[in-house]
Amino acid sequence: MKKYEYKCVYIWGFGEKTTRILNEYGRQGWELVCTWSAWHYFKREIEG
Q: What is the largest CA-CA distance in the chain?
A: 37
Per residue in 14-37, pLDDT (tens digit) is 899 999 999 999 999 999 999 999
Q: What whole-number distance in Å separates Cα of residue 30 and Cα of residue 32?
A: 7
Q: What whole-number distance in Å separates Cα of residue 26 and Cα of residue 44?
A: 10
Percentage of residues in the chain having pLDDT higher than 90: 92
- The domain total for the chain is 1
pLDDT of residue 21: 96
Mean pLDDT of the chain: 95
